[in-house]
């Protein structure tokens, strides 16, 4: 959420951010409501002051034996007007807050301006894609052939975009999770197993609601929703708290199931593990001082890239443009892994600096130098999406006989060097 004072004093900056991010919000209505809200507050304060003054006058007049009917009538009119203004004030405040929740974060000054993914800037590429001397199979064919992936039975049990993961492929999936968590805990992140049922306030706090509500599975008749990412519970773990400055930065690694309706992804990546309604992900979240968030973002990016390098999976890093960076992001890098069957790079991690956008919505603060509370900065990054990494390993490490070589870094977890089924 943006500071209303910032919106009031920098309307042109906010208007340009709306254009650059491709978001439509009635900024003029926000500014008009803000004016009306302040006018109401001022008039109510004046009326209450007048009411206090009149109340004292009534006492004096009664002591003097004078007629107080006129002044008592004025008191009634003042009370009625205050009630009228209070009712209107609540309506204005509700509409204003609703519109403020729809305002995106302001992008950092160095973020490239662009309308869509064509405006993203490649800033790094690592590793050489493997050259195969046999026809490359997509991961869904590999997995099905070794009875490690079963989409058909999953569709029978649940529906499309679900999978049974079995046997050696399931072991490989588990190995990836353990490797990711070990890698990050060794670098100062505290492991957290978060709840996967989240209330509405938490989704507002992290910025997914109201804009992305249709992408979330909700539990009918309740205030609960299934978690779309561990970012949501990890950020809201400190909602309405003042953090001890001495503990900053706080670093968490959360592993959880993620549930997404993929409402806006019809027809995209319909086969395989790339775009499922349910998948598992390891997530990095940090709470930092504002002046340290830029360095923290690059640390998160480095962690995601470091794990891919340990797996020897070729990747590239993109600096995301304004039109493709996301609603709440101040700055964002996407990391894409090479997928041989696609003959292109596919997103495997998004790393974002949210500045104080989430902290302001979730009311997460600290006291710099023990002084007045200020909002922290929050950051997050996939470390990594497990299903997509599994797909990348299957494709990049496939053998002509249909088996899959286990990356060396995963062998202590799988206790084997090859997956055959």
Active site residues: 260, 275, 347, 350, 388
Q: DSSP 3-state helix, strand, coil percentages of the chain (rounded to 5)? A: 45, 20, 35
CB 259 within 8 A of CB 159: no
Where does residue 359 rank: exposed (0-12), middle (13-18), buried (19+ CB within 10 A)?
buried
Among residues 195, 185, 377, 187, which one has the least CA distance to residue 286? 377
Q: What are the tokens at 355?
A: 């500045």
CB 164 within 8 A of CB 153: yes
- Residue 112 CA to residue 132 CA, distance in Å, equals 36
Residues composing the chain: 421
**DSSP structural state of residue 114:** -
DSSP result, 235-301? HHTTTTEEE-GGGPSEEEEEEEEEE---TT-TTSS-STTSS-SEEEEEEEEEEE-GGGHHHHHHHHH
375: β partners: 365
Query: In whole angstroms, how large is the CA radius of gyration of the chain?
Result: 27
CB 278 within 8 A of CB 358: no
Residues 6+ apart with CB under 8 A from 196: 226, 227, 233, 256, 257, 259
């Amino acid at each position: 959420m943006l500071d209303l004072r910032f919106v009031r004093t920098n309307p042109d900056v906010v208007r340009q951010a709306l254009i650059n991010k491709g978001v439509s919000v009635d900024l003029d209505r926000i500014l008009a409501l803000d004016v009306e809200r302040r006018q109401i507050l001022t008039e109510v304060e004046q009326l209450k002051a007048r009411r206090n003054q009149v109340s004292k006058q009534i006492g004096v007049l009664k002591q003097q034996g004078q007629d107080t009917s006129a002044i008592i009538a004025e008191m009634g009119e003042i009370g009625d007007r205050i009630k009228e203004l209070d009712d209107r004030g609540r309506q204005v405040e509700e509409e204003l807050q609703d519109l403020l929740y729809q305002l995106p974060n302001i992008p950092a000054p160095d973020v490239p301006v662009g309308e869509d993914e064509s405006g993203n800037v490649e800033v790094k590429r690592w590793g050489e894609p493997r050259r195969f001397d046999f026809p490359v199979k997509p991961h869904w064919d590999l997995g099905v052939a070794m009875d490690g992936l079963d989409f058909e039975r999953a569709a029978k049990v649940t529906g499309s975009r679900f999978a049974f993961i079995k046997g050696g492929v399931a072991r490989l999936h588990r190995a990836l999770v353990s490797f990711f968590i070990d890698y990050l805990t060794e670098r100062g992140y505290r492991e957290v197993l978060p709840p996967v049922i989240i209330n509405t306030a938490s989704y507002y706090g992290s910025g997914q609601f109201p804009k992305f509500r249709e992408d979330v599975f909700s539990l009918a008749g309740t205030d609960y929703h299934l978690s779309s990412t561990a970012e949501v519970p990890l950020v809201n773990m400190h909602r309405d708290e003042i953090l001890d400055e001495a503990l900053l930065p706080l670093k968490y690694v959360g592993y959880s199931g993620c549930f997404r309706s993929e409402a806006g992804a019809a027809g995209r990546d319909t086969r395989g593990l790339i775009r499922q309604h349910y998948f598992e992900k390891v997530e990095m979240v940090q709470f930092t001082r504002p002046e340290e968030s830029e360095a923290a973002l690059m640390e998160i990016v480095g962690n995601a890239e470091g794990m891919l390098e340990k797996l020897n999976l070729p990747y590239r890093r993109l600096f995301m443009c304004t039109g493709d960076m996301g609603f709440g992001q101040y700055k964002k890098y996407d990391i894409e892994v090479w997928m041989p069957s696609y003959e292109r790079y596919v997103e495997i991690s998004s790393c974002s600096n949210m500045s104080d956008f989430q902290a302001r919505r979730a009311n997460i603060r600290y006291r710099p130098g023990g002084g007045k509370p200020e909002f922290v900065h929050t950051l997050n990054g996939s470390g990594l999406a497990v299903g997509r990494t599994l797909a990348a390993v299957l494709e990049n490490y496939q053998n002509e006989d249909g088996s899959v070589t286990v990356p060396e870094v995963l062998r202590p977890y799988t206790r084997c060097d090859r997956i055959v089924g």
